[in-house]
Every structure is written in C-alpha cells, then in structure tokens.
Amino acid sequence: MGILNVTPDSFSDGGRYLDPSAADARVAQLLDEGADLIDIGGESTRPGSTAIDADEQLRRVLGPVARAAAAGAIVSIDTTLPAVARAACEAGAVIVNDVSCLADPDLARVAREADGWLLVMHSLGAMAAMPGFSSSPESLYKDVVAEVTSALASARARALAAGLPADRFWVDPGLGFHKSAAHSYALLRHLESLRALGPVVVGASRKSFLARDVAAPPDGRLGGTVAAGLAAARRGAAVLRVHDVRAMRQALAVERAIESPPARGA
C-alpha cells in the first residue's frame, strides 16, 4: 500500500503533493514501483496536528481519489469522517482507512454501502483529548498486545453490528500512535494475536518510533522501515503501508527467494 498525503503538514512529506499535477505524478510513481493499493489522506495524523473539517478534506482528496481510480489504482481513503469516506467512495475509493479505532460506526456503514472494505487502526482516539490524559506512552498500557487486540476486537464487533461483512474488516495495530518504541516493537513481535480479527495491515514507514534505533530524520529511516516491514511480513501481515514501495518490494522479493526451497536440480 503506497501513501499519498495531500496535506501541508504530514510528518514526512507534508506539502509535496498539494498541487494536482504533483499528486498525479505521485500516484503514477507508486503504481510504477509496484503498489497494489494507494492510500490517500487529506488530514495529517502526526502528533499536534490540527483537525481538518470535512469540506477541506474533500477539497484536498476528491480530485486525487477520482484520478487515481481512473488510472487503475485500488484506492483507500484515509479519514475518520463518514461524509468524507462516502464522497471518496463515490469518487472511486473502495477501502475506508479509519485511524480512530472506529469511534464512529457510520464508517462501517459507508464501507458496507460501497461494497468495500474497512481498515480500522488502533488508537486511543477521543481518550487522548480528555483532561488528565497522560502524554507519556509508557504509562498508557499494562499489556499493550492484549489491550490493542481487545480494542480492535471491540471495533470489529461494532463494524459487524453496523452490517459490514466479516470478510471486509481489516486491522492495523497503530504502530507509534500513543505508543512507545517498545510498545510498537512488541506489537510487531506478536502480530499473530491480531490475525484472527482479519487481514493485518502494518504501517511503520518512516515513523518516529524507529528513531530509537535509527538516528535519522523521517526520510532517512528507509532501512528501519524495510526491517520492520520484513518482520511484519514474516509474522503474517497482509499489507504493508509504505512511502517507499520499490525498496519494500525488492526486500520482500529477496526474502522470499531466500526462504523458498530451491527447485529440484537447482
């Protein structure tokens, strides 16, 4: 899954793809590099980012979604707002990527009505805005794997209650979202705990938790991103959400070649 952020303030590539021609070129690049899916978002989810209303999100994403779909891409819309998801699906998106852990079950209804898929990422969502919320990730979990799995299972139950078919529900552990590096690595080590809920999507690309072991700015974390992606794939991740599709594809191809038994006589 390749990433297209149509935002001025995303942590890694904010402002690069606001111009329609730049966004279209990015879509073409991602497809050329081998992306199976393209995730398009109009609101940054980096810490401290400003919430963007539906009208502004739609102004940013509808054109890129429609043009990417017309170019043959399988498009995911990254939003927590049902109105944005609905309009994006009407424009050609088939996956709703929700980073709020399904705070609004109407997102599941939108995905169902579009005959699409719902990807729910774990985050603490509204809890993070409550008075007294601790900004220190270390204090937020007693057992991060169990608690993330439980929260996503609850989101799945809400999605199915809203009419979404069980085979249209995907999960994302939300690496780096209100989580320390240790939490994110623990979730990567134990991805199997999530696989009973649905296909697992992992987004580690360029994230700040990698900086604990990769002392580099976001666009210098390619090696860490690839290592995390390979670890996730080995543990059963179905989709890797990345900025650098070609590098991830190459690493996966070599990994598979190494692990595949040689043909007879080879």
The full set of domain ranges for the chain reads 2-126+136-259
Class of domain 2-126+136-259: alpha beta
Predicted pLDDT at 240? 99
- In angstroms, the CA 219 to CA 99 distance is 22
In 3-state terms, what secondary structure has residue 230? helix
Which residues, given as ranges, of the chain have pLDDT below 50?
130-133
Predicted pLDDT at 39? 98
Predicted pLDDT at 265? 60
CB–CB of 36/240 below 8 Å?
no
Predicted pLDDT at 137? 78
The residues annotated with a catalytic role in the active site are: 207, 241
- In angstroms, the CA 171 to CA 213 distance is 26
The H or E element that residue 90 is part of is helix 82-91
Place of tokens 């579009």: 114
Torsion of CA 71, 74, 79, 82, to 10 degrees: 100
Predicted pLDDT at 131? 46
Cα 187-200-213 angle, rounded to 5 deg: 35
Predicted pLDDT at 48? 62
Predicted pLDDT at 133? 47
Cα 97-38-220 angle, rounded to 5 deg: 100
Two tokens at 201? 């999507």
Instruction: Please tell me the pTM assigned to this model.
Output: 0.92
